[in-house]
Structure 1
Amino acid sequence: MFDVFGSVKGLLKIDQVCIDNNIFRLHYKATVIILVAFSLLVTSRQYIGDPIDCIVDEIPLNVMDTYCWIYSTFTVPDHLTGTTGRDVVQPGVGSHVEGVDEVKYHKYYQWVCFVLFFQAIMFYVPRYLWKSWEAGRLKMLVLDLNFPIVNDECKKERKKILIDYLKENLHKQNFYAYRFFICEALNFINVIVQIYFVDYFLDGEFSTYGSDVLKFTEMEPNERIDPMARVFPKVTKCTFHKYGPSGSVQKFDGLCVLPLNIVNEKIYVFLWFWFIILAILSGFSIAYRILVCLMPRIRLILLRTRSRLSKHNEVEAIANKCYIGDWFIIYQLGKNIDPLIYKEVISDFSKRIEGHDEMV
């Protein structure tokens, strides 16, 4: 099992300098790890076996397997109910009249691993953009002040460099902050688009898939239709067309078992709940960001929370003089600098912007 998931362990690396927030990391770390792991899992025959096994008379099994995998299989929706008649072998499989009874073709299983990997890439795109735009600025400003044990002389010199930068670039940092806000918005837009994309990929079944699974257990056995069997059937049918000696087409009706769908159905139940939760959290994050941009009072409260050891008048002086970009840089520094050193930075910077030159 380690071989399957070992390739995603690099995403678990903890960054020395935090340049985003927890909800942002849910997108490019947790979600990417989940999607890549699922993509690897559905391609691992060691744990699942052959993705399709078909049975039919007069046709070699390996030929039938390959044919049905390429040209898709189908189920009969009229046989999806819990009631099993004499000629019904499995839910979704039974006798049908071609051209009269409705059949539903299933082709998605060829693309599941690719779609999952593509989604992982899309969830990483906002992180890639932000990392490119950020260009290591925060790491440069931290200057190893995230370590509590720093030589006094070295600490004083690095604090001076940091405060000089903040003072010289006062009111010039807005573009930096707005780029991060754009990436946050992209995260929210992406997860919504991914929900609709998967819904399209599964022929409109994904939008209510999770809720249908929850409702399934509350229905009567002879009335309920298993949504997992409808979307990811384990047993399907496949019609093989073969030319006879006279040139006429002979049809062979085969029965196919799809072990892979046992995994697929669980994957997409999990993804339904994960995407919904992620979309809600991202929506709250966008609402929070709008309030932060529009209400200076909230920025003051957040900065006080981040710099708990600092004096209120020093924090208020910084909040009153700084634009949203300056505030964002200072707030992010608070996540990375040792609290005691951060207290000194807040104190010295407040004196600097108020016109005092003395430095600790």
Structure 2
Amino acid sequence: MYDVFGSVKGLLKLDSVNIDNTIFRLHYKATVIVLICLSLLVTSRQYIGDPIDCIVEGVPDNVMDTYCWIQSTFTIPSSKMNEINLPHPGVQPQQEGDQVKYHQYYQWVCFVLFFQALLFYFPHYLWKAWEGGKINALILDLGCPIIAKETKRERIKLLVDYFVSNLNRHNFYAIRFFICEVLNFINVVGQIYFVDFFLGGEFSTYGRDVFRITELESEDRIDPMAKVFPKVTKCTFHKFGPSGTIMRIDGLCILPLNIVNEKIYVFLWFWFILLAVMSGLALLYRLAVVLGSRIRISLLKTQAYLVPRNEVELVARKCQIGDWFVLVLLSKNIDPLAFKELICDLACRFDDKEQVQPA
């Protein structure tokens, strides 16, 4: 097990500098790790066995397996997918005019899962490139709980000087992060439609259908997973007979891999829906923060809970959305006492500026 999943252990490390939020990390951390692990799982024969085993007379097993894996297998959905007592739904002798449904997507599941992981990671990669290590440069050693008092005061003074000289110049920095949040939402919604297309239009209602059958009696259940990921399918092999004529040989193929695939996509259906809802709510929260100055003041008070309310309000009124956003990120990365000193010093500097301004 470690040989298979040990390669993703590096993704489990927590970043030393926090430049985003929990919902953002669910996209590029949790989802990426899950997708890569699932991609590795479906390629691990030691846990699943051969992905396909075909039964046919007159053709060597290994030849038939390879042929059917490459050419794809099929079922006949018009033939009784609605008959509960059918041993293998969609598998029966093919009659003229029967509609045939080919199943090739299981060959691509591991690649598609890895491609999806890259798409989920892209907004984070873009934000890291845009962020450029700004927060890491600003916090200096203030994230360390043990730091000399003189050094701490010096670092805070440098940080205050930076804020005063660059006040109202961080809006573009914050806008870039907000763009990446929108990309996260667009990506997860797009992934739902992409997987639906990949599975032939079966994914959009997949989890709902699976959940619905749990309420039915066992004899009345028609498993939707057997329709999307059939465990038994058909495969037609053509070879030349003794007289040179083409012989058509029907085989029965067992797909053990689909036992795993069906569980994977049930989980992904619920996860993508949950992630899309949370990301949508996060965008509504972000819109409220951008439009509501009072909300920003309240949130900054929550972060600077050691600072008197009037000083926090003074700093928040002077800051635009970008400055506020940088302060919030700093509060996640530096010691609470250091953040308290930072806000207090900023309040003093802003108060002094107000007093020296002509009436």
For the aligned pair, the TM-score class normalised by the smaller chain equals: over 0.9
SS in 2 for 1:255: strand
Between the aligned partners of 1:79 and 1:235, the Cα distance in structure 2 is 14
Question: Could you say which residue in structure 2 is the equivalent of 1:66?
Answer: 66
Between the aligned partners of 2:32 and 2:247, the Cα distance in structure 1 is 47
State which of 238, 242, 245 in structure 1 corresponds to 2:242.
245
Question: Could you say which residue in structure 2 is the equivalent of 1:347?
Answer: 344
CA contact 2:80–2:90 (8 Å) conserved in 1 = yes
Between the aligned partners of 2:145 and 2:217, the Cα distance in structure 1 is 63
Between the aligned partners of 1:41 and 1:83, the Cα distance in structure 2 is 31
Between the aligned partners of 1:167 and 1:244, the Cα distance in structure 2 is 87
Question: Could you say which residue in structure 2 is the equivalent of 1:275?
Answer: 272
Between the aligned partners of 1:91 and 1:220, the Cα distance in structure 2 is 18
Q: CA deviation at 1:83?
A: 3.1
Which amino acid in the other structure matches residue 3 of structure 1? D
Which amino acid in the other structure matches residue 140 of structure 1? A
CA contact 2:174–2:321 (8 Å) conserved in 1 = yes
**1:34-61 residue CA offsets vs partner (Å, 9 max, x unmatched):** 0000000000011111000001010111
After the TM superposition, which of the residue ranges 117-126 and 237-246 deviates more from structure 2? Answer: 237-246
Q: CA deviation at 1:179?
A: 0.2
Q: CA deviation at 1:352?
A: 1.1
SS in 2 for 1:3: helix
Question: Could you say which residue in structure 2 is the equivalent of 1:125?
Answer: 122
State which of 161, 176, 185 in structure 1 corresponds to 2:173.
176
Q: CA deviation at 1:91?
A: 2.4
Between the aligned partners of 1:57 and 1:161, the Cα distance in structure 2 is 81
CA contact 1:82–1:221 (8 Å) conserved in 2 = no
* Runs of 5+ consecutive residues of structure 1 not aligned to the other structure: none
Between the aligned partners of 2:241 and 2:232, the Cα distance in structure 1 is 28
CA contact 1:82–1:222 (8 Å) conserved in 2 = no
User: Does 2:87 match 1:95?
Assistant: no
SS in 2 for 1:51: coil
Taking the TM superposition and a 5 Å limit, the aligned residue runs for 1:17-56 are 17-56=17-56
* Runs of 5+ consecutive residues of structure 2 not aligned to the other structure: 355-359
Taking the TM superposition and a 5 Å limit, the aligned residue runs for 1:99-110 are 99-110=96-107
User: Does 2:77 match 1:79?
Assistant: no
**1:292-312 residue CA offsets vs partner (Å, 9 max, x unmatched):** 001101000100001111110
Q: CA deviation at 1:252?
A: 0.4
CA contact 1:81–1:223 (8 Å) conserved in 2 = no
SS in 2 for 1:206: coil
Runs of 4+ in 1 over 6 A off after TM superposition: none
SS in 2 for 1:170: coil
Between the aligned partners of 1:221 and 1:76, the Cα distance in structure 2 is 24
Taking the TM superposition and a 5 Å limit, the aligned residue runs for 1:215-226 are 215-221=212-218, 223-226=220-223
After the TM superposition, which of the residue ranges 240-249 and 348-357 deviates more from structure 2? Answer: 348-357
User: Does 2:262 match 1:265?
Assistant: yes
Q: CA deviation at 1:222?
A: 5.1
Which amino acid in the other structure matches residue 267 of structure 1? I
User: Does 2:229 match 1:232?
Assistant: yes
Question: Could you say which residue in structure 1 is the equivalent of 2:282?
Answer: 285
Between the aligned partners of 2:88 and 2:260, the Cα distance in structure 1 is 18
SS in 1 for 2:352: coil
Which amino acid in the other structure matches residue 48 of structure 2? I
Q: CA deviation at 1:148?
A: 2.0
CA contact 2:231–2:259 (8 Å) conserved in 1 = yes
Question: Could you say which residue in structure 2 is the equivalent of 1:205?
Answer: 202
Question: Could you say which residue in structure 2 is the equivalent of 1:8?
Answer: 8
**1:263-301 residue CA offsets vs partner (Å, 9 max, x unmatched):** 000000000000000000000000000010011010001
SS in 2 for 1:354: helix
CA contact 2:84–2:222 (8 Å) conserved in 1 = no
Count residues with an aligned counterpart.
353
Between the aligned partners of 1:351 and 1:90, the Cα distance in structure 2 is 77
Question: Could you say which residue in structure 2 is the equivalent of 1:186?
Answer: 183
Which amino acid in the other structure matches residue 94 of structure 2? H
Identity of aligned residues (%): 65
Which amino acid in the other structure matches residue 92 of structure 2? G
Between the aligned partners of 1:312 and 1:5, the Cα distance in structure 2 is 49
SS in 1 for 2:306: coil
Question: Could you say which residue in structure 1 is the equivalent of 2:357?
Answer: none
